[in-house]
Structure 1
Amino acid sequence: MALLEIKNVVKRFGDFTAVNNVSLSVEAGEFFTLLGPSGCGKTTLLRMLAGFEQPDSGQIVLDGQDMSRVPPEKRPVHTVFQSYALFPHMTVRQNIAFPLKMAGWDAKKIASQVEELLEDVRLTQFGDRYPHEMSGGQRQRVAIARALVDRPRLLLLDEPLSALDAKLREQMQIELINLQKEVGITFVYVTHDQGEALALSHRIAVMSHGQVEQLDTPETIYSYPRNRFVADFIGQCNVLEAEVVAGNGDGTATIEIKGCGRMRVALRGEVAPGQKGWLALRPEKIKVGRALAVEDGEVHFKGRVNDCLYLGDVTIYLVEVGDGVVIETMLPNSAPGLAKLFDDQDQVEIAWRFDAGSFVTE
């Protein structure tokens, strides 16, 4: 049985349905992420797990016990907030010890547990400092240590890295992954940052308008989005209007891309002739060059570079093909020296394997 089961949970605020009949489960020891844009319901769902909000219907079951009406302080659950919520007048040790002190632990046991957590988050030498004497990343580690000090069954993290700069956020992502492995506690993490979710998670629930659009591993969500919303929301993606011409009976279909023509695409479900949808195709899956050999199983087009975006490690080239269709391609800047390969208006060819993209619907 899963550690956490969310069963048909609904939460309304007046006429607005923030969480709409959500069901999912989280396994013990899992790093599970709720991902979606602002207003999608992910934070409301997290607040219900914490006990700060009550569901209008449905169940939240933790370790086989329905927690839907259990107050926050009675749940074996802790929350780490974006704002850290540290006591400014307490040292790091005192902040971490606070939950144990309130629970009436023995002083020696508190001291031992605090030192263990300081070591886990690599802050042993900062125990006597106050929050204002520490960096944002260090304060976030203190907040996490305080939440973990009494070993909750579940740790909830509400966009805990969003206030940090990009480089520090990347460092903290690695620290969170390592810490979660070390302590073995189940993490439920909320973020709107797709890259962060892909980097951290064992599984991701992508949410929109109060519902789960797709729940799967990061690799599957990225490579095989279930619908147009997921394809558009997760990373960079070409989403090209398409219609099914015929199923080929071999796990592929022939589709027609508006403005481009017909091509073969791999399927992950059943389709019917005339069904409308989109081809979701990641830019890095596309080859681009001044001249490309035509290989079996590839879709091949000639086009013109409309624009480019240099990002340091990669350059994105917008290539116009067919009848005004623009396809985004991506090439690594791995060659020595200046790595830009094409300029605006250059004639190029692009190609991708038939199974590089996915046919998706609404």
Structure 2
Amino acid sequence: MALLEIRDVVKRFGDFTAVNHVSLSVEAGEFFTLLGPSGCGKTTLLRMLAGFEQPDSGEIVLDGVNVAGVPPEKRPVHTVFQNYALFPHMTVAQNIAFPLKMANVGAEEIKQRVTEVLEDVRLSQFATRFPNELSGGQRQRVAIARALVNRPRLLLLDEPLSALDAKLREEMQIELINLQKEVGITFVYVTHDQGEALALSHRIAVMNKGEVAQLDAPETIYSYPKSRFVADFIGQCNLLDATIKSIGTDRMQVEIAGVGVAETLPVAGAQVGQSGCLTLRPEKIKLGATLPSGDADEVHFKGKVHDCLYLGDVTIYIVELDNGMLVETMLPNSAPGRAKFFDDNDLVELAWRFDAGHFILA
């Protein structure tokens, strides 16, 4: 049995349905992420797991027990908030010990458990410091240590990295992955940052308008999105509107209006004449002034450079096809010398393998 099961949960605020018949499960030891834009229902769902909100209907089953209606302090669950909520007048050790004191744990056991959890989060040398003497990343680790000291079955994290700068956020992502492996506690993590979700998670539930749009491993969601919303929300993605022209055993042909025919992998339930879109990630597309032809596994189209965006490690080129459709492609800036290979209005050729894209039925 899964550690956590959310069964057909609904939460409304007046006429607005924040969570709409959501069902999912989380395994013990899993790093599970709720991902979606603002207002999608992810934070409301997390608050129901914590006990700060109660579902209007449905069950939240933790370790086989329905905890819907159980107050937060009675649940084996702790939450790390975005602002960390540390007590500024307490030292690191005192902040971590606070929930144990509230639970009337003995002084010797408090000392032992605080020492253990400080070692887990690698902050032993900072035990006597105050929060204002710590970096943002260190304060986050204190907040996590305070949540872990009661040995919860489930740790909830509500966008804990969103206030950090980009470099520190990347460092803390690695810290969180290592910490979760070391302590072995199940994490349920809420974020709107797609890159963060892909980097951290064992599985991701992408939410939209109060519902789970897709629940899969990060690589599956990225490479095989089930809807236009998921494809567009997760990273950069080209969405090429097309109609199915023919279906074979290992590939099918789709007509991209005004551009031509492309081959792609067949999808379940597809029928000739059905419309949809071909999803293509920019890094899967080759770009050149000319590209070698003759490979039966490659799709080739011509266009012209519409714009470019230099990002340091890569340059994004936006190429306009014959029908006016814009396609993003990416070239790494790995070679010495100049980083910009094409200028606006340069004629170019695009190519990608037939299995590089994924067709989504309308």
What TM-score comes out, normalization by structure 1 length?
A: 0.98
Identify the residue that residue 293 of structure 1 maps to in structure 2: 292
1:28-47 → structure 2 map (5 Å cutoff): 28-47=28-47
How many percent identity over aligned positions? 74
Identify the residue that residue 258 of structure 2 maps to in structure 1: 259
> What is the CA–CA distance in structure 2 between the aligned matches of 1:115 and 1:260, rounded to whole Å?
65
1:107-256 → structure 2 map (5 Å cutoff): 107-248=107-248, 250-256=249-255
Extract unaligned runs of 5+ from structure 1.
none
Q: Cα distance, 1:125 vs. partner? A: 1.2
Indicate if the aligned counterparts of 1:315 and 1:332 stay in contact, CA closer than 8 A. yes
1:343 is paired with a residue whose SS is coil
Q: Which amino acid aligns with 1:314?
A: V
Identify the residue that residue 96 of structure 2 maps to in structure 1: 96
> What is the CA–CA distance in structure 2 between the aligned matches of 1:257 and 1:286, rounded to whole Å?
16
Indicate if the aligned counterparts of 2:247 and 2:266 stay in contact, CA closer than 8 A. no
> What is the CA–CA distance in structure 1 between the aligned matches of 2:6 and 2:216, rounded to whole Å?
16
Indicate if the aligned counterparts of 2:305 and 2:345 stay in contact, CA closer than 8 A. yes
2:97 is paired with a residue whose SS is helix
Indicate if the aligned counterparts of 1:259 and 1:325 stay in contact, CA closer than 8 A. no
Identify the residue that residue 2 of structure 1 maps to in structure 2: 2
> What is the CA–CA distance in structure 1 between the aligned matches of 2:268 and 2:72, rounded to whole Å?
42
Identify the residue that residue 276 of structure 1 maps to in structure 2: 275
Q: Which amino acid aligns with 2:290?
A: A
Q: Which amino acid aligns with 1:137?
A: G
> What is the CA–CA distance in structure 2 between the aligned matches of 1:214 and 1:240, rounded to whole Å?
21
Indicate if the aligned counterparts of 2:318 and 2:327 stay in contact, CA closer than 8 A. yes
Q: Cα distance, 1:146 vs. partner? A: 0.2
Asked whether 1:75 is paired with 2:78, we answer: no
Q: Which amino acid aligns with 1:6?
A: I
Q: Cα distance, 1:280 vs. partner? A: 0.6
1:46 is paired with a residue whose SS is helix
Indicate if the aligned counterparts of 1:240 and 1:258 stay in contact, CA closer than 8 A. no
Q: Which amino acid aligns with 1:156?
A: L
Asked whether 1:304 is paired with 2:308, we answer: no
How much is the aligned-residue C-alpha RMSD, in angstroms?
1.0
Work out the number of aligned pairs and report it: 361
Indicate if the aligned counterparts of 1:308 and 1:315 stay in contact, CA closer than 8 A. yes
2:231 is paired with a residue whose SS is helix
| Structure 1 runs (4+) greater than 3 angstroms displaced | none
Indicate if the aligned counterparts of 2:29 and 2:184 stay in contact, CA closer than 8 A. yes
Q: Which amino acid aligns with 2:195?
A: G
What TM-score comes out, normalization by structure 2 length?
A: 0.98
Q: Which amino acid aligns with 1:252?
A: R
Q: Which amino acid aligns with 2:25?
A: S
Indicate if the aligned counterparts of 1:205 and 1:212 stay in contact, CA closer than 8 A. yes
> What is the CA–CA distance in structure 2 between the aligned matches of 1:317 and 1:350, rounded to whole Å?
11
